[in-house]
Every structure is written in structure tokens, then in C-alpha cells.
A and B are shown apart, each in its own frame.
Chain A
Amino acid sequence: MENVLKLSNENRICSSKLTYKNTTEVNNNFSLHVNFNGDEKFVLNKKKLRLFPHNFLAINPGTLYSDIIDSDSPVQKLSISFAKGFIDDFKTSFLEDDNYFPDNYGNHLPSQNLTFNETIFPLLGDLKYNIEHLKVLIRSNCQDELLLNEFLYHILLNYYTLYQKDILFVEESLKDLQFATRKEIYRRLSLAKEYLYSNFDQKINICELSKYSCMSATHLIRSFRQAYHTTPHQFLINIRLQQAKFLLKNTSYPINNIVTTVGLDSPSTFIKLFKMRYKVTPLKYRTSYN
């Protein structure tokens, strides 16, 4: 089942529930892809990525990409394609001094050079809420374009805020380096994070990760720690625990299955890590939602 809603300003929202999909096309407009419950593969130019729940993928205009779903159970997803004119309007309203917003309130991040990053991000905060609301509106067959565009504007704003916060955090952490170096390190660390988000369920070794992110292993670990105040390994553990939490909450999979699904070795390690991170055992966490 695939429901495509094309708005009169050329914005496009596609909601689907599919067990199989294999399309290749050039992405005409900037787009965001969210997957709510399954495993979806993307090939962006030559880069192979996998998208899981809790994450989203941003794809820039002009990128040749394949979107592949091959699953026993239907994968629910939402794709939003933002028309060029809509993005231009967003940039204009973003860069001008907009007095609609109260002062100093994070709705307005100054930027002279508005660019988007083509990678995987965690689906967090206001973006998660607004995407969920949009999903409900689409399911209820909402045709109110003003309302849908209002949501799309906020989703774009939330995405950009998330991206800017990530950049600013890294820039602050690496402030002793020159601007061009910081920019390049940010790009490479984004690749490393993308690899971890994409392959957390596999055995990951530091050599593969450093090769993917075009850095030596030592440089990668040092820069990652410096930029994000954590190691790639700890970052990976957090992704695994987040995904495990999602599975505990939304499925009835036995704990042992969850442990292997998220790429961890043993149930005892998983229980220990989960309890350390969330101050509750996996079983108690699951029970609290049933």
C-alpha cells in the first residue's frame, strides 16, 4: 500500500506499508525518509546504507539513489520531498529577522550559508513529534494543504535545528582547530556515525569503520572522543540499547532474539548495559508498557 500526496506547491508526502520495493531514481528535491518499524536499504550513489526505526535519512537533490525493502512483515515508512520553492522560502524566512518568534528562543539559528547534510540522523525531539503527527494526518486522509504545509515547514525547521546543533556542538568541541580542518573532521565523523547507525546489528571492527570514514583508527577514536565526548564504541552501544528499547516496547520478541538483533553478544551483557543506561532491567521496562 502506498499513498502519495502531491501538494499544489510541489511538496510531496508518501506514506507506505510495503514488504517489497526496489526503485532507483534521481532525487529531484531535498527529501527526508523515516522508517517506523523495519529494515530498509538505500544506495546513495555508491554508498550503501540501512535505515532502522528511530533514525531518518536526508537525501540531497540530484543524488541517484535506490530504495530497497525486502521484508516478511510490512515496513511502514514516510517520505517527504520538499519542493525547491518551498526550501527557498524556508531559507528566506530563516535568514531574515523574523519577529514572529519570541527573542532568544532557539527557533531561530543564525546561518549565512544554509546547507543540508546527506546522512542518517537519530529521530529525536520535536522532529519525532511532528513526524508522528504528520503520519496520523496522512492516515486520516487529511487534504488540508495549509495544515500539511505548516507541518512540513516545522519538520524542515526541526531537521535544520538538529543538524545545526550537531555542527555547533562539534565546532565548539574542536574550536582549537582551523575552520577548514573542523569542517573536514565533521564530515568524516558524520560518515563514521552514519556507518554505526547503518550497521549496529553487525560485528563492527574499528578498521572497517576508520576506512569508511577516511581516517586512521587512532585519529578517528581521538577526534570522535574530542568532538562528541564519547568513543565510537560507546556511541555504538547507545544505538544498540536505543534499538533494543524500541523492540522491547513495540514487539514481543524474546530477550535473546533482541540481543542478537541489535548486535550484542550475550543476554547478561545486554541486561547489565541496559540497567546501567536506563536504571531499569529490560524485563521491567517491557512490563511497564504492557
Chain B
Amino acid sequence: MRIKYVTIPSGNIAEAETFFVKFLGFTHKGELELWPNVRCKLLSNNDSDVHIAIIPNKCTLKQKAVIIFNTENCLQQYHEITKNGVVFNHKPYYVSAGMIADFTDKEGNQFILLEERSYLEE
């Protein structure tokens, strides 16, 4: 399990994206659907494996931070973390990016396990 995305909440995604691209030299890396019907813009610089994910502000009203962990096997990771006593917000579920499970800590920070899956070859 490793950190894959650092989220930046924004009330104006287009403006935030322009800021990262024009002023900080980031490049577009696509989009990611993390919640139903909510798409985040992905940006990175220097071919880094860790991406910036610009997320709509409304999703984070109750969260201080959203940390996205990349995992090879979401169900297994979910199972192992659950065994340690963590209660997830949902059972693992499917989005167009792959499989997701998320939990929130006492401070209100949200942690997402994401197993990215490619459906392109089909």
C-alpha cells in the first residue's frame, strides 16, 4: 500500500487546474472517478508516480484531508485493515477506475484504498 494521489480541494476545478499547469508546470494525466459521478482532475510533474488530484470542494466539507492509497488487491487490504479494528464507511465497491473502499479517522480525515483496474482491453 502506498500513497498515490494527493488531493487538492477546489471550488473551481478549472481555475485550480490552470494554476497547476500554467504556473507550476504540471501536466494533465487524465481523470479519475472516486465517488459516483464525481470526477477528479489528475496532474503530475517530473513523471512522478504521485499525482495531484483536484477534487470538488463540496465532497470535502466534512473532511480535513483525503488520502488515497494505491493497492494491488483492495478486497484483501480491506479485509486486513478491518481485522485491525478499522470500520469502513462502505463495503468495497466498484467505480470506473476500479475498486474502492474508504474509511474516516476520528479527526474526519478520509482514507481511500484504490485498486486501479484497466477495462480497456475489453
**Chain A residues in contact with chain B, CB under 8 A?**
100-107, 122, 124-126, 129-130, 133, 137, 144, 146-147, 150-151, 154, 245
- In this complex, what residue of B is CB-closest to A132? B73
Give the shortest distance, in Å, between B68 (CB) and chain A (any CB). Answer: 17
A126, B117: Cβ atoms closer than 8 Å: yes
The stretch among B3-11, B92-100, B106-114 that forms the contact with chain A is B92-100
Is B119 in contact with chain A by the CB < 8 A criterion?
A: yes
Which chain B residues lie closer than 8 Å to A245 at the CB level?
A: 121
Is B79 in contact with chain A by the CB < 8 A criterion?
A: yes
Cross-chain pairs A/B with CB under 8 angstroms, 8 sampled: A103-B36, A105-B36, A107-B94, A129-B115, A129-B117, A130-B75, A133-B75, A154-B92
- Complex partner residue of A100 from B75, B91, B95, CB under 8 angstroms: B91
- In this complex, what residue of A is CB-closest to B83? A146
- Assembly CA distance A122 to B37 (angstroms): 28
B122, A100: Cβ atoms closer than 8 Å: no
- Assembly CA distance A146 to B83 (angstroms): 10
> Considering the complex, which residues of chain B in the window 21-43 have a beta carbon less than 8 Å from any beta carbon of chain A?
35-37
Interface residue range, chain B:
10 to 19
When A102-B93, A105-B93 are in contact, do A124 and B122 touch as well, CB less than 8 Å?
yes
Which chain B residues lie closer than 8 Å to A146 at the CB level?
A: 79
**Chain B residues in contact with chain A, CB under 8 A?**
35-37, 73, 75-76, 79, 90-95, 99, 115, 117, 119, 121-122
Give the shortest distance, in Å, between A244 (CB) and chain B (any CB). Answer: 13
- In this complex, what residue of A is CB-closest to B73? A133
What are the 9 A-B residue pairs with the smallest beta carbon separation, nearest first? A147-B79, A100-B91, A105-B36, A124-B122, A107-B93, A102-B36, A133-B73, A129-B117, A125-B119
A106, B94: Cβ atoms closer than 8 Å: yes
Which chain A residues lie closer than 8 Å to B117 at the CB level?
A: 125-126, 129
- Assembly CA distance A130 to B37 (angstroms): 24
Give the shortest distance, in Å, between A86 (CB) and chain B (any CB). Answer: 16
